[in-house]
Amino acid sequence: MRGASGSVTSLSTFVVVWGSSPFVMTPVKEVVQVSEPTFSEFMAARWAPLYRTAYLLAGNAHEAEELLQNAMVKTCLRWDKIRDKQAADSYVRTTMANLATRLWRRRGRELPSDTLPEDATGAGLDVRADHLALWEQIRALPPRMRATLVLRFFDDLTVADTARELGCSVGAVKSQTHHALRRLRAALPDLEIQEDLR
């Protein structure tokens, strides 16, 4: 078929529009389908950053591995129902925070007595004494406060994003952050701990 300029085009790139004239041919832009990542691709790409979050939530490497694996299993089972695959990180972080809270409640307030692994730098922690003392105090916090600190300061989420991840209000996140930082300041008066409520 010849277009208005005399060029040859295929009929499949035009659509018939009903208007004042019987048939008006209007070109249609082709839609390019972008393939969504598979669960395997997502897991391979996001395992390391999500493991860091799991480590900070759980407190040790073994529980972090288990926590992340359980969250990934739940994510895999719901993968087809997750509409925005770009937000899958959020789904996994929320799942890990909920699983960590349940585990902490089930276990009671006992704290594991094992020490940090030798290679703590993989989780972004230095082996300096003040960081170890801070880490011990963070591990002693209740799970909701610990999850709030991890998401706010280690994953660098805003207050609103943290509230969405934890399924609570912005005010609850601010309150949890404030009380957690107050506890850390009381336990470690020599460290300068700043409050950032952005």
What is the tens place of the pLDDT at every residue in 79-113?
988 888 888 989 999 999 999 888 777 666 555 55
Helix (H, G, I), strand (E, B) or coil at 8: strand
Cβ–Cβ under 8 Å, residues 90 and 165: yes
pLDDT digits (tens, 9 = 90+) for 15-25: 444 445 555 55
Region 39-187: CATH code = 1.20.140.160
Contact 39, 79 (CB under 8 A): yes
Output DSSP code: residue 152. Answer: I
pLDDT digits (tens, 9 = 90+) for 132-149: 777 888 888 998 899 899
Give me the pLDDT at residue 7, please: 45
Structure tokens at 65: 């591995």
3-state SS string for 11-60: HHHEEEECCCCCCEEEECCCCCCCCCCCHHHHHHHHHHHHHHHHHHHHCC
Rounded Cα gap, residues 185 and 180, in angstroms:
9
Average pLDDT of 158-168?
90
Crossing angle of the two packed helices 170-187 and 159-166, in degrees rounded to 10: 100
How many CA atoms lie within 13 Å of 92's alpha carbon, on the beta-carbon side? 30
List Cβ neighbours of 68 (8 Å cut-off, separation of 6 or more).
Answer: 47, 50, 51, 54, 92, 96
